[in-house]
């Protein structure tokens, strides 16, 4: 699952109150959760137990928690990609997609 999140400027958030912004963000998180759940209908079945590492790409100036470690990009060669719905709130623009390697 690839989530691309873009932040808008602070000026764009001053037009809405904090309660509305938090509700919009909660709605987006709920929609993304539903999309992840629904993706099992079209993604290949994983028969063995699996674990996943979460990779977060940030700007160089971003403060990250101390227990995070740096790594190289994780690219899936010859990946199939399924674009999911995009969302926008007063604070963020979120684009989602699922990438996987098909079983041949």
Domains (ranges, CATH) in the chain? Answer: 2-100 (3.30.900.10)
Q: How far apart are CA 103 and CA 93, in angstroms?
A: 32
Q: What is the mean pLDDT of residues 70-95?
A: 81
Residue 15's pLDDT band, with cuts at 50, 70 and 90, is low
95 forms beta bridges with 4
Closest-CA residue to 89 (of 15, 11, 24): 24
pLDDT above 90 as % of the chain: 0
Sign of CA dihedral 8, 13, 16, 20: positive
- Look at the alpha carbons of 76, 64, 95, 31 in this order and tell me if their dihedral is positive or negative: positive
User: Three-state DSSP class for 2?
Assistant: strand
Say what the pTM is. Answer: 0.55
pLDDT tens figures, 44-71 = 777 888 777 777 777 788 888 899 888 8
């Amino acid at each position: 699952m690839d989530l691309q999140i873009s932040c808008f400027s602070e000026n764009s958030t001053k037009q809405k109150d904090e309660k509305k912004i938090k509700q919009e963000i909660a709605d987006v998180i709920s929609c993304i959760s539903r999309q992840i759940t629904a993706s099992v209908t079209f993604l290949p079945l994983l028969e063995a137990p699996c674990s996943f590492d979460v990779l977060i790409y940030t700007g160089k100036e971003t403060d990250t928690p101390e227990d995070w470690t740096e790594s190289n990009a994780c690219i899936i060669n010859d990946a199939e990609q399924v674009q999911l719905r995009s969302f926008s709130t007063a604070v963020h623009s979120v684009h989602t997609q699922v990438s996987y390697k098909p079983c041949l």
